[in-house]
């Protein structure tokens, strides 16, 4: 609604301020006394070399003459501020009418434009670790957000299923393992084999030669090598699927690195034609010195494809296949340089769409304060984090609500939801620590806190049994501060989703949910609902109906589910 207000106000103020300027400076003050929209005129004053109070007074003059058009009740001028107080009844009525429209009355922002999202992308034969949990959760949420805004999203799981490490793995498997051991222990066996090979290779370097030879066989489509590799891939996928199932996540494409291996010779051709390749110690590279980056490696001396070249080939292929307007890569911030190099290479190749490639980085994960790193051996599996969360949620339920009907289902929603919410509540670039007391705390800014508010709203609606329509109520009954501040938050839903999309930042929605549910709890304490009399009761029930709907919808955008009872 702030968007809409700024559209209208900018028109009324004509040349004095642009819509964009107004949008940038207009505030929605938390304190009702400062108005529903406050326009601070300080930045404008600086630009125009005028007194902010004079500009604010001028704005007040003009807007006061057009109160009707702005649905404003009164307009004040305090110092350098022009404060607009909306007509609460009209405002609420409009807000509710919008909420009952298809897709909450959101504009079709995306107009079907295609966005490719590359996320999750775990490495086969390695565990699905906590870092992969973050990309999966953030990616899934961005998928839901952009879909709500009318984009058509292609969800790509770019499996790490190619590379020299698979040569090592096959070598180790042939030497020390068996089909039974792999079937039984799955990824654990593969991981052990990989670690063992690296350790043994320190004493016997010829193992590395052997591993290299196996990878060359893979690259040459040797059936035996490919059969083993493919089997490892399937075993890994089965394990990843368990995590996806818990998170209720799926993909449109699982085309991983292996798919692009045979596209790399063509890429090298093209790079050569475009004069971009240089030889460096037997390897082929693109020199990026002019852009203050180390060279982008295209092939090593053995001629095989590598992570960089496969990514360049994949970007070109995706553009052809999907005609995306944006392609997002959601990975840890430690890969920032990699993507800068890849994007620069695409640009130097002359592809004008290189600026549609966007790296969406995120910070590190720790568990109860302990860093998670593979080398030190305290690697934590995503699946274990999710399972532990569900178990802890179950303990809480048994303790607090032992008579709850479907405990398993609720514990699953609460536990998994808590992990997702905790991840998304922080700005993605910040490091996240999964301290269980914080994650599941019913009183903090957590998933369970939000879910609890939803369950409370649902319980009110169940008890009341009234079905109230937007046309049936007296809007004056929602004009008090507690109800109206809730209405204002509801009216900001679309802005929150748009802002989350603009910054690739699901935390905007997680924070929105906390603001909404806290205001709801406040309203619930201040205003009796079931005990209120007729008109008041109907109006409040309608408000609760909308609050509950928006909580569920916004939770859906994060990828969490709301139990009906808790």
Interacting residues toward ligand ARG by CB under 6 A: 118, 121-123, 158, 160, 311, 329, 331
Closer to ligand ARG by Cβ: residue 122 or 361: 122
Secondary structure E strands in 342-469? 357-362, 365-367, 370-371, 432-434
Least separation in angstroms between CB 43 and ligand ARG: 40
Strand-pairing partners, residue 329, are 118, 359
Least separation in angstroms between CB 118 and ligand ARG: 5
Least separation in angstroms between CB 320 and ligand ARG: 16
CA 211 to chain centre: 38
Strand-pairing partners, residue 297, are 285
Least separation in angstroms between CB 166 and ligand ARG: 13
List the one residue out of 558, 523, 295 whose CA is nearest residue 421: 558
List the one residue out of 422, 426, 416, 417 whose CA is nearest residue 434: 422
Closer to ligand ARG by Cβ: residue 52 or 160: 160
Least separation in angstroms between CB 114 and ligand ARG: 17
CA distance linking residue 539 with residue 544, whole number of Å: 9
DSSP 475: G
In the numeric block, the tokens 């699927």 are attached to: 241
Least separation in angstroms between CB 362 and ligand ARG: 12
Least separation in angstroms between CB 123 and ligand ARG: 5
Least separation in angstroms between CB 182 and ligand ARG: 21
Find the DSSP H helices in 71-204.
88-99, 130-148, 165-176, 179-185, 187-203
Closer to ligand ARG by Cβ: residue 308 or 392: 308
Closer to ligand ARG by Cβ: residue 35 or 160: 160
Least separation in angstroms between CB 419 and ligand ARG: 19
From first CA to last CA, the distance across the chain in angstroms is: 33
CA distance linking residue 424 with residue 138, whole number of Å: 7
Pairing relationship of beta strands 296-299 and 326-332 according to DSSP bridges: unpaired
Instruction: Provide the annotated active-site residues.
Output: 126, 129, 132
Closer to ligand ARG by Cβ: residue 361 or 415: 361
Closer to ligand ARG by Cβ: residue 121 or 507: 121
Residue sitting closest to ligand ARG (CB): 160
Least separation in angstroms between CB 379 and ligand ARG: 13
Question: In this structure, are residues 498 and 512 in contact, taking their beta carbons and an 8 Å threshold?
Answer: no
Torsion angles phi and psi, residue 249, rounded to 5: -125, 140
Q: Bin 513: left if φ > 0, else alpha if -120 < ψ < 50, else beta.
A: alpha
Q: What is the dihedral of CA 126, 189, 193, 170, to 10 degrees?
A: -80
In the numeric block, the tokens 């139990």 are attached to: 563
CA 466 to chain centre: 36
CA distance linking residue 181 with residue 127, whole number of Å: 17
Closer to ligand ARG by Cβ: residue 198 or 401: 198
Closer to ligand ARG by Cβ: residue 428 or 458: 428
- HEC string of 395-422? HHHHHHCCCCCCHHHHHHHHHHHHHHHH
Element (H, E) at 117: strand 114-118
C-alpha distance from residue 395 to each of 380, 420, 439, 566 (Å): 22, 19, 14, 13
Strand-pairing partners, residue 285, are 278, 297
Closer to ligand ARG by Cβ: residue 334 or 406: 334
Closer to ligand ARG by Cβ: residue 342 or 445: 342
Give the contacts of 332 (CB within 8 A, at least 6 positions apart): 131, 134, 135, 361, 362, 363, 364
CA distance linking residue 547 with residue 214, whole number of Å: 59
User: 287: helix, coil or strand?
Assistant: coil
Task: Tokens for 390, please give them.
Answer: 């569900």
């Amino acid at each position: 609604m702030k968007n809409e207000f700024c559209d209208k106000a900018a028109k009324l103020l004509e040349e004095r301020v642009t819509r964009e300027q107004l949008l940038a400076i207009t505030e929605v003050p938390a304190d009702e006394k400062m108005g529903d929209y406050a326009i601070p005129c300080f930045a404008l004053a600086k630009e125009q070399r005028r007194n902010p109070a004079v500009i604010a007074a001028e704005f007040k003059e003009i807007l006061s003459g057009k109160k009707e058009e702005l649905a404003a009740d009164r307009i004040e001028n305090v110092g350098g501020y022009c404060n607009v107080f909306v007509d609460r009844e009209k405002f609420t009525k409009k807000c509710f009418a919008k909420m009952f429209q298809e897709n909450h009355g959101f504009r079709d922002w995306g107009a079907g434009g295609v966005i490719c999202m590359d996320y999750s992308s775990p490495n086969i034969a390695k565990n699905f670790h906590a870092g992969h949990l973050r990309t999966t959760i953030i990616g899934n949420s961005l998928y839901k957000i952009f879909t709500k805004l009318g984009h058509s999203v292609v969800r790509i799981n770019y499996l790490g299923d190619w590379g020299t490490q698979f040569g090592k793995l096959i070598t180790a498997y042939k030497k020390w393992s068996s089909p039974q051991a792999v079937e039984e222990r799955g990824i654990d066996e593969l991981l052990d084999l990989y670690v063992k090979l690296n350790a043994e290779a320190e004493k016997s370097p010829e193992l590395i030669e052997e591993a290299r030879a196996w990878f060359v066989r893979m690259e040459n489509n040797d059936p035996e090598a490919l059969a083993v590799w493919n089997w490892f891939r399937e075993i890994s996928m089965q394990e990843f699927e368990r995590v996806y199932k818990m998170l209720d996540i799926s993909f449109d494409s699982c085309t991983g690195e292996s798919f692009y291996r045979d596209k790399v010779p063509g890429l090298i051709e093209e790079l050569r034609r475009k004069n971009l390749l240089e030889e460096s110690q037997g390897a082929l590279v693109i020199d990026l010195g002019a852009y203050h980056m180390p060279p982008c490696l295209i092939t090593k001396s053995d001629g095989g494809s590598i992570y960089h070249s496969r990514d360049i080939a994949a970007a070109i292929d995706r553009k052809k296949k999907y005609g995306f307007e944006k392609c997002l890569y959601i990975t840890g911030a430690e890969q920032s340089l990699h993507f800068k190099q890849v994007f620069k290479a695409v640009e130097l190749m002359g592809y004008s769409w290189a600026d549609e490639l966007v790296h969406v980085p995120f910070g590190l994960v720790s568990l109860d304060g302990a860093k998670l790193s593979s080398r030190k051996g305290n690697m934590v599996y995503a699946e274990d984090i999710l399972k532990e969360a569900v178990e802890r949620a179950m303990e809480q339920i048994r303790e607090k609500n032992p008579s709850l009907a479907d405990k398993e289902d609720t514990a699953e929603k609460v536990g998994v939801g808590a992990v997702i919410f905790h991840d998304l509540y922080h700005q993605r670039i910040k490091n996240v620590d999964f301290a269980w007391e914080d994650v599941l705390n019913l009183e903090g800014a957590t998933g369970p806190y939000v879910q609890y508010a939803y369950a409370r709203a649902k319980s009110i609606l169940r008890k009341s049994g009234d079905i109230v329509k937007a046309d049936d109520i007296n809007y004056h009954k929602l004009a008090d501060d507690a109800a109206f501040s809730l209405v204002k938050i509801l009216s900001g839903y679309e802005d929150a989703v748009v802002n989350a999309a603009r910054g690739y930042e699901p935390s905007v929605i997680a924070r929105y949910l906390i603001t909404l549910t806290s205001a709801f709890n406040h309203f619930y304490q201040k205003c009796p609902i079931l005990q209120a009399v007729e008109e008041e009761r109907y109006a409040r029930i309608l408000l609760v109906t909308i609050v509950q709907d928006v909580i569920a919808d916004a939770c859906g955008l994060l990828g969490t589910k709301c139990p009906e009872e808790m």
